Each structure stands twice: as C-alpha cells, then as structure tokens.
Structure 1
C-alpha cells in the first residue's frame, strides 16, 4: 500500500474545516500530532483568512426569558449574504450564560470571558469548545472595578490578558497574564492624568489594547489610551471629533471597534446622526477618515444612534451593522448606494447582547508533548 508524502498530507489537512480536523484527530497518532502542532494551527487559520474559506461567525448571547434556556449562539454566514443560521453553543461555565460576559473582541477565534457570579476569568474557543480558566490577578489594594482586555503578543507568540485597576488616584495598577507561563505579573502603573475609563470595553488591534478615556475635571477632549503587549509601553492619541461643538447640541456616545483592518471610532450623535471614523494608519491622528455618516430618517428598522458596526465586507463596499444594546437586528449598509438590506438568521433569539465577529480556529487545543530533538514529519 502506497503512503502519501507528508507534503500532500499537509496540503489536504490545511484544506479541511476546523470541524473536520477535530473529527480527524482519531485517524492516527501522527494526524493527532500534526493537527495539534502550533505551526499547523497558525497555517490553517492563515489559509482560512486568505482564501475566505471559513464563514464569518458572530458570537452573541441571549438573556431573554422567552428564549429559555438562555445561552450563547453562533451566527454563521458568508460575506454579503442576507440569510444565515443561529446555532446554540455549549455554555462555557457551570452557571447560566446570562451571568457570563465577553471581554473585548475575538482574537484568532478565541475570546476572553468572565463569569459575573464568582468573577472567574477564562479564554474560550467556542468553535471547538475549548476553555482555559486562568487565575485571578492579585491587586495590592481591593478593586471595586477592574477593566480587562485580551490580545495576542506576536513578538513572543503569546496570548495575554491585561487587568487594570481603578483610576481613582494619579495612577492605577496594571497586571498582565501570560498564557505561556500561566501566570500574572505586575507592570508599571498606568498614569491617569485626570482621565478615567469611558467604558469597560477594551479592543485589541495592531499588537496593542486600545480604550477610550474621558476627562474627570474639565472639558478636555477624550483620548485613546493604548498598551502594547510586547513592549508593555503606554501611548495615547486624540480622537477625530471636536466634542466642544457637539456638547452644545446633544450628548454623544463614543465607542471603539475594529473594522476592515482599522481602528474604528463610532460617534452616536443622539437625534442627529451616527458617524463612523476609521484610522487609516494606526497611531497617526491625521489619518482619521470619516467612513460614513447615517441620518436618523435613513434607517428603516432601528434608531440611528443605537447600532454598531460588526464587519466590513471583503470588497469594502458594505458594512454589517447591528442594534447596539440588543442585537436582534442585523443589516448590511451599502457605503456607495447608502442603502440597507436586512440579514435574517434562522433560529436567532429575539433579544441578545454583544456581537463578536471572527473565524473558527483550532487555537487552545492542548499542545502535544514532544520528546527532545523530535520534529513533526510534516515540517521536515
């Protein structure tokens, strides 16, 4: 019987979906080792992104009694499609899912979650139902409020969770968890400089965690504070909007997102319009560009001030939007035609919270223990 060369086996495995690869773990010990190899996991995700072979997955959860039992749902569909399916996923913690919150955005198909009963934190890959619980950080003083962000350090090939304490003094404590070492360490305090967190939503982009901060004592403009995971250095830059004029008419709401490979700032100007800005060159404030602005009367289903962008279509011509606080409505917005078309998900819960977009991956599979000097035959 002929034996397939390793290069051909690798090519075949890279073309399989992550679900098929999970089923293939039982084929042989060699395949089990291949699929667990971190180099293969990276190559598989990269190929899925480059070929657009993996459908977009939006993770939401429902806490509506009418949708009992409440839980997480994965909404899967292809780019620019208007029909998809909602599939319930297994709950990651032992408590009901409505006690669980997602911290930040998805990174390589992995999300950071926190249980709101005992404040347990974990990394979770809902695609393959792998959960990695992590210890709680040890702040020197009790923290009534702590902010958490999750991201990937490409320099050290490590997933990291950052815990930031209250900004009630001139600086606040900051701790970083490393998945590689499975431990926390304290880094230099973050200077507050009379600024406080605008919200608890911290997004990962370009190797750094990013969050909005507002002035405490005066009408100084909001800033975006960043923490680079590799160097553990803080930075900040300004937003593109002049809130002095805005505040004279209405109270805006600002939020950070990641859209189309850019850091994105959403400005909800209640009663006026919804503006979405993108930073074309990360860290360069002069590169802020207004991507689109929607007037209240233009939206056929929801109030204009209450939606958030989820993903940019592959051709860059359409944006998937959803209701900001209860993700019960999804719709594509055509940037050129300024038109809308609603997306319907079969089995979608009536009321849900928080949309996190991403692609399925094999990350968080337990690594294979190799003997010293051994190598996978796929990479010889």
Structure 2
C-alpha cells in the first residue's frame, strides 16, 4: 500500500480514521505499521481528532470503581467496552483524561474508597490507561513531605490534576496535599517522560473542595480560596509548561445567593456550573480565556422543565452545537436543546455513578506498557432486546 500512495497522502487519509481501524491496519505491512506507530503520525491523528471533534467516547464508572467502561459518543453502539487495569479487584477512582489517556487512582489490597479517607498515598497507586490501545502504566508512589513542625502523618485531602505540557512534549500529573491547618500544603509534579516526581512551589491558595484539577490548553485549574474556606472563591491555575501559578476572574453573577460551583471544560473552553441548592443550575462559559467580560451564561436549567435532578454536569456539545450533553445524577445522560430549552434525548446506562467524555487516540505510554488487557464487552439494553427478538423469531439459543 505504501508503494501505491505517497507517505504524506497515506498519513493524511489515515489521520481521519478511528483508532480501531488503524490498529487493524497495522497488520497490513511493516511500512504501514511503522507509519501508524510513528510519533509524527500519532500527533497528526490526535490533532485531527481534536480539530474535528471525532473519536470521542464516554467513560462511565460504577460507584465502587470496580467497573469502568467506555462507549461511543453517539451512544448508538450496542456494546460498552470494559476497561481492564491491574487493580480491578479493589476498584479504581477516575481522576482525569487527556488526549486519550485516563488517570486512575487505585488501592493496594483494599477498596479504593475505603482508603481515600483519610488519603494515604503509600497505600494508593496511580495508573495511566489508554483504553483504545489496551495499554497501561503503573506510576511510582511518592511519599508526602510533611512540614517540619507537623507531627501528624495525615493530610486533610489530596487533589490530583493531569494534562499535557506542549512545551516539553510531556504528560504530567500534579498532586496537591492539603494539611489540616488549611495553610500549608505540598505540591509534587510527575513527569511521564522522565518517570520522576519533583516537588515544586507550594500551592498559594487553599483548595475549596476535593475536586480534581481541570485541564485546558496546558493549564490546570482548581476552585480555591486565598486563606480560608470562608473567603471568596477564586479560580486558581497552574501552568504545566512554566510551573507557575495564577488566577482567573469569575463571571459577573446575576444571582449572588449561595450556590455550589464546579469547574469544567465545554467545547474547548473553561466553564463554570453554579448549583443553587438544586433549584436551578446556571452554566457559564469563558469565551476568551482570562477575560472577565467574556464569561457568558449559556443556559439556566430549573426543576420545572421536566428535569428532576440532584446534579447536572455539562459534558460536551453535540456536533451541530445546538445541544449539550449533560450527566443527570447517576445512571442518566441527557441531550439538552438550547433553542427549545428541553430534553431532546435521554439515555439510561445502568451501573454507573459518574461519566466523562474522553478521546480515543494512539498516544503511547513509556516503555513497560502492559499489552495483556483483554477487551470485554457487556450487552446494553438495546442489544439484549435485539437478541430476545432474534431468539423468539428464529428459535435461536443466544
């Protein structure tokens, strides 16, 4: 095939194909395999997916973290694929995803959710997984460096962030350990390229909640306060390239009553959802990064539009941009129409607690990847109904 098409043309064509097809094409010939495995092609394919919003998937995790699956973004696929990892017996806590890699927090010898409170890094493991290529990499554990004056061996909580540093062409994990006095903390950065943890400047804020860092364009973001949890909340940032801290402005809220805020990314832009005691939720999007006036409230959803919810989390825009995918509590995913201001589609996915939009990619982990992760399929309600129909109509045993 490489003899019939120039390499640049073949690269252009292949970059528009799904990962599953590319993994199959690796068997065509050695030159084709070398092309698909090359760092240049992997980056080209990833960039094409990001620009075209293609190869998107939905990651779902059960409440105990024992079952983690991914399925097609359009939710029309009859099967969800089980994500295997080294600690399925103890469960895994989903941390973040970036460019097709997902970061999981797992426990050693016990349920991960029993170990998270209080957080104890020596008893926890971090693992990076690429579900599309079925590879994983266990990250080394780094002990927490407690303050000299601090006699305890526990911290209030630990927050993680994961993202891509385009300056160094490196994937980095950031860990913030918040100590009980709410003043001191410890921040360490793990480099996937160098396979090492480094301590960096302490976080200059107090984490507002135990939420994980939100990644966008080389920067991680957290909701935090300056000195105590009673002070005004700020949007703190950490640049993975420069490893410098900063802050971003909040929107000009139309309702200043009490609400619970949560950061996210929607359509490649930072977003902020404000939950007003489960009465209604406002969703803001920062159209121009770092500019206060660019915050726009794109919609407000209350309990009177046919949506009964405890939480609503924005996940992604539709391909047309006229709808937004929302996670409605546990087990429910809905499409919300902006213009009609109502639900256009609703999906019930059993046995999941949280859901996240991710990406399928060929991004490689460093040497020592595990390649023995079998693909396990589970049938959805749609496929079970199809099988029941076939067995009754044709007297088949399925």
Q: Does residue 1:102 correspond to 2:103, yes or no? A: no
1:245, CA displacement in angstroms?
A: 4.0
Match of 1:315 among 311, 320, 333: 320
Q: In structure 1, how many angstroms separate the alpha carbons of the residues matched to 2:125 and 2:48?
A: 34
Whether the 8 Å CA contact 2:164–2:170 is kept in 1: the answer is yes
Match of 1:341 among 340, 344, 348: 344
Whether the 8 Å CA contact 1:222–1:238 is kept in 2: the answer is no
Q: TM-score, normalised by structure 1?
A: 0.82
Relative to structure 1, is the Cα distance of residues 119 and 294 closer, same or farther in structure 2, using a 3 angstrom cutoff? same
Q: In structure 1, how many angstroms separate the alpha carbons of the residues matched to 2:242 and 2:79?
A: 40
* Aligned residue number for residue 353 of structure 1: 353
Q: In structure 2, how many angstroms separate the alpha carbons of the residues matched to 1:88 and 1:185?
A: 35
Q: In structure 2, how many angstroms separate the alpha carbons of the residues matched to 1:244 and 1:340?
A: 25
In the alignment, structure 2 segments of 5+ residues that lack a partner are 109-122, 147-152, 368-398
Map 1:236-251 → 2, pairs under 5 A: 236-240=247-251, 245-247=256-258
Q: Does residue 1:19 correspond to 2:20, yes or no? A: yes
Relative to structure 1, is the Cα distance of residues 63 and 270 closer, same or farther in structure 2, using a 3 angstrom cutoff? closer
Whether the 8 Å CA contact 1:221–1:243 is kept in 2: the answer is no
* Aligned residue number for residue 263 of structure 2: 256
Relative to structure 1, is the Cα distance of residues 52 and 173 closer, same or farther in structure 2, using a 3 angstrom cutoff? closer
Q: In structure 2, how many angstroms separate the alpha carbons of the residues matched to 1:354 and 1:209?
A: 21
Whether the 8 Å CA contact 1:101–1:116 is kept in 2: the answer is no
Map 1:214-363 → 2, pairs under 5 A: 214=225, 217=228, 219-240=230-251, 245-247=256-258, 252-300=259-307, 302-303=308-309, 305-324=310-329, 326=330, 328-344=331-347, 348=349, 350-363=350-363
* Aligned residue number for residue 384 of structure 2: none
Map 1:132-171 → 2, pairs under 5 A: 132-141=137-146, 142-144=153-155, 145-167=157-179, 168=181, 170-171=183-184
1:15, CA displacement in angstroms?
A: 3.8
1:322, CA displacement in angstroms?
A: 1.2
Whether the 8 Å CA contact 1:143–1:165 is kept in 2: the answer is no
Q: Secondary structure at the match of 2:211?
A: coil
Relative to structure 1, is the Cα distance of residues 51 and 237 closer, same or farther in structure 2, using a 3 angstrom cutoff? closer
Q: In structure 2, how many angstroms separate the alpha carbons of the residues matched to 1:241 and 1:323?
A: 26
User: Deviation string for 1:80-117 (max 9, x for gaps)?
Assistant: xx7444413232123336x201113x211111111034
Relative to structure 1, is the Cα distance of residues 353 and 362 closer, same or farther in structure 2, using a 3 angstrom cutoff? same
In the alignment, structure 1 segments of 5+ residues that lack a partner are 368-380
* Aligned residue number for residue 370 of structure 2: none
